[in-house]
Structure 1
Amino acid sequence: MKNNAHLTSAEIASLWTAYMNDSMAACILRFMLKHISDSDIKPVIQYAYDIASEHLTQLRSIFENESFAVPNGFGEQDVDMDAPWLFTDTFCISCMRHMGKVGMLSYSGFVSVSDREDIRTYFSQALSETNNLYNQASDIELAKGIAGKHPYIEVPKSIDYVDSKGYLSGLNPFNDERPLNAIEISHLYMNVLTNSIGMKLCIAFAQSSTHKEVQDFMLRGKDISKKHMKIFTDKLLEDEIEASHLPDVGVSDSTTPTFSDKLMMFLMSLLISSGVGNYATAAAASQRSDLVTDYERLSLENAKFAKSGADIMIKHQWLEQPPGTKDRDKLAKNKQEG
């Protein structure tokens, strides 16, 4: 049934973004399902694929009711189902956990900016489903002993208060830096994990792309991820905190084109955007000035990297334009010329 209330700009943006993300995810998940052999991991991949497929059906129904042009997104032309296996099975489950995490962040944001009850209901259900996906993937990783676990520290035995402005300091080389607190440790390690996923994806995409520009972009992304991982790991080691073992998120040696360059570049832009958000959250939560400075500096590097990726996508007409307002000056000018 058609809702009489017009979609707001936030709802239009959220629905469009959700469709693009789900159509991309469905391509990757369909390829994973064909090749994955682990009987414990495959049901989680199937659940994720079923979610994405159902979302696309529901979104198309919403678009039809609202006379909303369905985005091109991604489809069969963006994945070669006959290509050799590109990932390891453990990569797939780690990817599902990361996908669930990104999905929860995205859908919670979509719910918070939506006004219409039907749109809030849709995104709330999607949030619940991605939460289930995250939990299922986490349980499998833990059961198989491949989960990346955050570092352990002692449980607090007493309550304390900050008694000096030095608690916030971290940039003065003549002052001793205070030890990292639990909040700072958690963000540092989380960003080690997410960069590890990004690095392996860059390797897989670099070796399977046919465009030199895309290959170079992915190799640059791999180097940036390695650099950021080292910075965060070194911060932990300064306090004698070891970054726990990372999941075996390996890739095969296949060089056969598997996914379209359009899809690979879109996914990387999504991960870069997610990374910038992670760094902003970490900077806001960190109380040591050197950490805040690091996150701001690395966010700028990611932003420049994202811009170079967008330039490549625009050049090859791979970047689908989000919905926007009409250029009123251009409309008036065209009318005058007509």
Structure 2
Amino acid sequence: MTKHQTLLTSSEIGSIWTNFMYDSMSECILGYFLKDVKDEEIRPIVQLAYDNSAAHIEKLTSLFQREEIPTPTGFTSNDVNMNAPRMYTDTFMLTYINHMAKVGMLQYSGFISMSAREDVRNYFTDSLTDTVQLFEQSSKVLLSKGIFVRAPYIPYPTTKDFIDNKKYLSGLNPLSQKRPLNVVEISHLFMNIQTNLLGSKLALSFAQASAEEKIQKWMLKGRDISKKHIQIFTKTLLENDVQAPSPSDVAITDSTIPPFSDKLTMYHMSLLSAAGIGNYATAAAASQRSDLILNYNRFSLEIAQYTKDGADIVIEHGWLEQPPGTTDKKKLARNKETTD
């Protein structure tokens, strides 16, 4: 009896397509990092991250071919200039990999939950394991070098308590004193400061290297948005006598020769923007002080508009690769009517 392979669902196709785009971008960036990294403790981390992305691309390409689905173009050697001078310090590379591993862990867990076919689930489970190991190893090196940025400390609680007043949820009235932040709110403020710090550095490096004025302005606008959000989140922590995180040396050089294509950098910033909106939505849902919720919601709208402006630029250049979609049945019917 012949055993037929179950067809991929729309969610599974969407997941492997998205993963291919992400890892093809990562392979370009990490290959460029490998060219320049000098620190003997950091180099193995960069190599591991590169090897993971290359292996994922190989497996995904094979899966697309078996299913007779067109393999996405994604990003190729044409999107990275290996002759470009060094743009990023070794510490930046390590911090970047650690942060993107966090993004990957969230992404892969989501892909697993949307997949039914066993081989697809196994692939994403293995990829999640790879990413967890990358996060663990990069974290160990950050810690050993004393540059792992820890969340703020607070005194240990001594009692259990329950909320007995609706004022606990307030915070919009500027004339009333806001209650102290709780640990859940602090953790999200800390995380969003960290992600914006990295995003602002990347945006600056992409603006610095781009030759197109419109893209330079869009990247610098992204940096300015990140800086503004960092300032507001930091102010919120300091008002509660909680020390804001101090970033490690994640510097970029003064090179203006682009290591990556504008197509890749625009995609990367859009990817980070989408992740930022997700982070803010999670933070808003987890926070209980109304002023925090309001900030996260209005910041999400600001990033959404920024992302839309970026998408307009990408479409103008013909860089936006379209995900697989369903057939437009109405269009088919109209075309049939005109040919009858």
Shorter-chain TM-score range = over 0.9
Deviation at 1:31, TM superposition (A): 0.3
Q: Name the residue aligned to 1:38.
A: 39
Q: Name the residue aligned to 1:251.
A: 252
Distance in 1 (alpha carbons) for counterparts of 2:313 and 2:146 = 39
Residues 245/3 of structure 1: CA separation in 2 closer, same or farther (3 Å cut): farther
Q: Which amino acid aligns with 1:166?
A: K
- Map of 1:226-241 to 2, 5 A cutoff? 226-241=227-242
Deviation at 1:239, TM superposition (A): 0.5
Contact kept in structure 2, 1:2 and 1:65, CA below 8 Å: no
Distance in 1 (alpha carbons) for counterparts of 2:147 and 2:20 = 31
- Map of 1:167-182 to 2, 5 A cutoff? 167-182=168-183
Q: Name the residue aligned to 1:47.
A: 48
Deviation at 1:62, TM superposition (A): 0.6
Identical amino acids, percent of aligned pairs: 53
Q: Which amino acid aligns with 1:30?
A: G
- Map of 1:258-337 to 2, 5 A cutoff? 258-337=259-338
Distance in 1 (alpha carbons) for counterparts of 2:310 and 2:249 = 27
Contact kept in structure 2, 1:32 and 1:92, CA below 8 Å: yes
Distance in 2 (alpha carbons) for counterparts of 1:303 and 1:98 = 21
Distance in 1 (alpha carbons) for counterparts of 2:139 and 2:299 = 28
Deviation at 1:335, TM superposition (A): 2.0
* 1:263 aligned counterpart, secondary structure: helix
Deviation at 1:6, TM superposition (A): 1.1
Deviation at 1:334, TM superposition (A): 1.6
Q: Which amino acid aligns with 2:315?
A: I
* 1:148 aligned counterpart, secondary structure: coil
Distance in 2 (alpha carbons) for counterparts of 1:178 and 1:27 = 47
Contact kept in structure 2, 1:47 and 1:133, CA below 8 Å: yes
Deviation at 1:257, TM superposition (A): 1.6
Q: Which amino acid aligns with 2:204?
A: I
Residues 56/25 of structure 1: CA separation in 2 closer, same or farther (3 Å cut): same
- Quick check: 1:219 aligned with 2:225? no
Distance in 1 (alpha carbons) for counterparts of 2:304 and 2:143 = 34
Distance in 2 (alpha carbons) for counterparts of 1:86 and 1:32 = 9
Contact kept in structure 2, 1:151 and 1:241, CA below 8 Å: yes
Distance in 1 (alpha carbons) for counterparts of 2:3 and 2:307 = 38
Distance in 2 (alpha carbons) for counterparts of 1:3 and 1:56 = 25
Q: Name the residue aligned to 1:14.
A: 15
- Map of 1:88-127 to 2, 5 A cutoff? 88-127=89-128
The answer for unaligned runs of 5 or more in structure 2 is: none
Deviation at 1:69, TM superposition (A): 0.4
Residues 35/244 of structure 1: CA separation in 2 closer, same or farther (3 Å cut): same
Q: Which amino acid aligns with 2:42?
A: I
Deviation at 1:336, TM superposition (A): 2.1
Residue deviations 1:99-130 (CA, integer Å, cap 9, x gap): 10000000000000101111111001111111
- Quick check: 1:136 aligned with 2:129? no
Deviation at 1:174, TM superposition (A): 3.2
* 1:74 aligned counterpart, secondary structure: coil
Q: Which amino acid aligns with 2:196?
A: N
Distance in 2 (alpha carbons) for counterparts of 1:3 and 1:46 = 39
Q: How many residues align?
A: 338
Q: Which amino acid aligns with 2:59?
A: Q
Distance in 2 (alpha carbons) for counterparts of 1:327 and 1:244 = 50
Deviation at 1:32, TM superposition (A): 0.3
Distance in 2 (alpha carbons) for counterparts of 1:155 and 1:50 = 42
Contact kept in structure 2, 1:22 and 1:56, CA below 8 Å: yes
Deviation at 1:46, TM superposition (A): 0.2
Residues 61/107 of structure 1: CA separation in 2 closer, same or farther (3 Å cut): same
* 1:110 aligned counterpart, secondary structure: helix
Deviation at 1:158, TM superposition (A): 1.4
